Amino acid sequence: MSSINNTVALGAGCYWGTEKFVKKDFEKRFPGSVASGQVGFMSPDPNAKANPTYREVCSGVTGYVEVLNVELSDPAQHFEELVRFFFMFHDPTTEDRQGNDVGTQYASVIFTNGEEQKRIATKVAAELQDHIDAKKIKRYANPKVMTKIVAANTFVAAHAEHQAYLEKNPGGYCNHFYRFKEWP
């Protein structure tokens, strides 16, 4: 197996919930797995406007997606588990939507760094589709995985007040929840 890059960006709707689920819940499942995580924006288009503002991203016209940029301590051990976990707390069957949040900025996207990450993410997404088809997973809105798996581009960090938002505001908005807690 070739080396796996230690950084990946995950778009799963509002980045506050993605950050909470990965930095708190995934870290609880796999202690020491998350070296760092920062919310911000990434575009699947390498020629997208540089340094968009939060307001511009929220307008939906920039093509940027709200993401959590995650650095794993041991990607060989935890990357595939992280991709599986990513599919547990959001709905990958809704295109550009998570709950009431609608727009391209809320897309389900895995921004991979390198061929090995892309291979693993593609494999796990195909496994998920097989589980949906076999009716082992029934808590998604639609029957087809719509998650995009694309090469990572420039990460733009969100403002400081958006980092660790749900930790600072425990009652803050979060539309993420577990669709299932164990991979079938």
Q: How far apart are CA 70 and CA 34, in angstroms?
A: 7
Q: How far apart are CA 62 and CA 82, in angstroms?
A: 27
Per annotation, catalytic residue among 9, 12, 14, 137: 14
What single-letter amino acid sits at 121? A
Query: How far, CA to CA in Å, does 40 sit from each of 128, 137, 171, 172?
Result: 26, 30, 21, 18
Residue 14 among the catalytic residues: yes
Could you tell me if residue 11 is left (phi over 0), alpha (psi between -120 and 50 degrees) or otherwise beta?
A: beta
Catalytically active residues are: 14
